[in-house]
A and B are shown apart, each in its own frame.
Chain A
Amino acid sequence: GENVEQHPSTLSVQEGDSAVIKCTYSDSASNYFPWYKQELGKRPQLIIDIRSNVGEKKDQRIAVTLNKTAKHFSLHITETQPEDSAVYFCAAPTGGGNKLTFGTGTQLKVEL
């Protein structure tokens, strides 16, 4: 079936290092790829998204890249800070574009 796979499930980096989280999707018709951040005990919030007509999008320290041929997209966080510690979810449309399917999440821990 249509799904979204996310790796790694946990990621630990030193403060100041970069972090990369990767997702793959199966529905070739998917055209929108958001990333949500969920801090401990809080609700998920959209941090960045990308549409299929561009290959990269940046917003300060975060960026998302998209490879439509390979059907994968990645979240890049540079100069990581302790407040970046959270669970990150990718998502992509499935079911003919009628619904959004989320990846299983990545627990990012930024260590001092």
Chain B
Amino acid sequence: DGGITQSPKYLFRKEGQNVTLSCEQNLNHDAMYWYRQDPGQGLRLIYYSQIVNDFQKGDIAEGYSVSREKKESFPLTVTSAQKNPTAFYLCASSLGTATNEKLFFGSGTQLSVL
């Protein structure tokens, strides 16, 4: 199960605060993804990156930002513009960039608002 690590496991955000979720992989995968998981809504794509220094918006990118300065790292910032940030956040990676690639998920970060 190793290879893709998310931290922290739990995170609390105060109103108006930006917080950053970490995602690191040592699988030498090209593509990385961020999903948000809410009860009854499945996994919704926030952002994805297919190559270093490039990323694309997913279905629910508003209020979030990402960077991909290194192949191994794809941090997600939840900004104060995200009005309903409480959710379980999952990072994933895949060897290639095609949609038929197997996704490897991290163990997730539970973000809550204080």
Docked complex Cα distance between A44 and B103 (Å): 9
Contact size range, B: 20 to 34
CB of B75 within 8 Å of the partner chain: no
* A99-B102 contact, Cβ under 8 Å, with A43-B90, A44-B43, A89-B43: no
A18 at the interface (CB under 8 A from B): no
A104 vs B58: C-alpha distance when bound (angstroms): 16
**Is B74 in contact with chain A by the CB < 8 A criterion?**
no
- Judge whether A43 and B41 touch: CB under 8 Å: no
A31 interface residue (CB < 8 Å to B): yes
Determine the main DSSP class of A at the interface with B: strand
- Chain A residue contacts of B1, Cβ below 8 A: 43
Add 20 more A-B contacts to A49-B102, A93-B99 (CB < 8 A). Answer: A6-B42, A43-B1, A43-B90, A43-B106, A43-B108, A44-B43, A44-B90, A44-B103, A46-B102, A46-B103, A49-B100, A51-B100, A89-B42, A93-B100, A100-B45, A102-B42, A103-B42, A104-B42, A105-B40, A105-B42
Q: Chain A residues in contact with chain B, CB under 8 A?
A: 6, 9, 31-32, 34, 36, 42-46, 49, 51, 89, 93, 97-105
Please give the residue numbers on chain B whose beta carbons come within 8 Å of chain A beta carbons, in ascending order: 1, 35, 40-45, 48, 56, 58-59, 90, 99-100, 102-103, 105-108
